[in-house]
Amino acid sequence: MGPVDGAEIGGPAICAREGSPSVRAGEVRDADLIGRGAAKAIAGASVRALADRQRQQHTYAALDLGTNNCRLLVARAAPSGGSQDGFRVIDSFSRIVRLGEGLSRTSEIGAAAIERTLSALEICRDKMRARGVTRRRLIATEACRSASNGAEFVAKVRAATGLELEIVDRETEARLAAAGSASLVDSAAEGVILFDIGGGSSELVWLARAAPPCAQPIDMVLGERIRFWVSLKIGVVTLAEEFGGIEVSGAMFEAMIAHAARELESFVAMADGERRGRHFHLLGTSGTVTTIAGVFLGLARYDRRRVDGLWMSSRQVDHAVACLREMTYEERAANGCIGHDRADLVLAGCAILEAIRRAFPADRVRIADRGLREGMLIQLIRADRI
């Protein structure tokens, strides 16, 4: 509104100067200044509009290479107010590669896992080329962090695909998960635990209530909300490899929960004394919680639109986990929300979830089918806007 208002004020003043000899010199100078100021404002608005159009023309990519999955999102910035997260997804890819298979025993990424992952990354590269990606961030997490040949693997990826992977630390991983999922937090909650159960690690973040809206950058606002975080060196792959995931007895399931609970002790101690309030809830982002949501909804095939943002009561989570535990391995493999590639991992994820729920009882759990990739896209787009 500023440039338009200025133009309207400046226009008549200039006309009065040209058409009325009785106008005083000071008034003429003032009108001239106003007119020139309006012109500058209009020019500035045009530059900003051009910059906005250029930003919207960028195509962004975010790739998350985890211990179990290789996942890609390609997106464009949404017009202001056009999307809650500020972007519109135009392409995606997800494949289970099991990069961390056997890593807990050998401390190395195996040859078969490397071949599987390179094949998936080649598809990601081709998708990014086809979509004309101009901004991207490609991260690798726990498998590459902990493997003795992690740097060697990254070099091999660069040579074979041209992709430059960034091995991120645990804090970065936790913060990206929070950035990608925080929009699903109940705004009335004084405290929320956001958790991401991964293949080789699991991140937990305590988020405090959001401050009133202000002009601060989103990263700064989110940084102020994060009270503390932890990255546990357990995930669905490492836990299943240690305890087994095909036939899981009640005793074995409880042993997995106890193992995860011991890993959680430091985070539980940090949370001691934190206010929770009556709106306290858990917010989960991972294949474990989205699977539980799909089973709860009785989906024949997984549907992100029905799962992302779903609220589940504690009883509903109990029921879905019980259903999963009652299934045989073959039944899990045949389930449209699980599949053969994850049938031996899902109960390990349920055990980690149960350890979190026992440590932090909550009446509600919100399910997020979003996380690291969305967090990267949000940061890339907002950095351009700044």
The verdict on 90 and 49 lying in the same domain is: no
Distance from the first to the final alpha carbon of the chain: 21
* Backbone φ, ψ for residue 47 (5° rounding): -65, -45
The verdict on 234 and 361 lying in the same domain is: yes
- The whole-number average pLDDT for the span 91-112 is 96
* Backbone φ, ψ for residue 195 (5° rounding): -135, 145
pLDDT tens-digit series, residues 234-254? 999 999 999 999 999 999 999
The verdict on 220 and 157 lying in the same domain is: no
Range(s) of the domain holding residue 158: 59-168
What pLDDT score was predicted for residue 30? 52
Q: Which residues contact 300 (CB under 8 A, 6 or more apart)?
A: 336
Quote the percentage of the chain above a pLDDT of 90: 75
Residue 337 lies in a domain: yes
The verdict on 344 and 275 lying in the same domain is: yes
What pTM value is reported for the model?
0.81
CATH number at residue 361: 3.30.420.150
pLDDT tens-digit series, residues 255-301? 999 999 999 999 999 999 888 989 999 999 989 999 999 999 999 99
The verdict on 283 and 307 lying in the same domain is: yes
The verdict on 29 and 161 lying in the same domain is: no
The 3-state DSSP class for residue 103 equals helix
Residue 255 lies in a domain: yes
The 3-state DSSP class for residue 189 equals coil
- The whole-number average pLDDT for the span 56-81 is 91
Number of domains forming the structure of the chain: 3
Six-digit token string for 115 = 């071949």
The verdict on 116 and 198 lying in the same domain is: no
Confidence of residue 225 (pLDDT cuts 50, 70, 90): confident
Distance between CA atoms of 10 and 6, rounded to whole angstroms?
6
Residue 379 lies in a domain: no
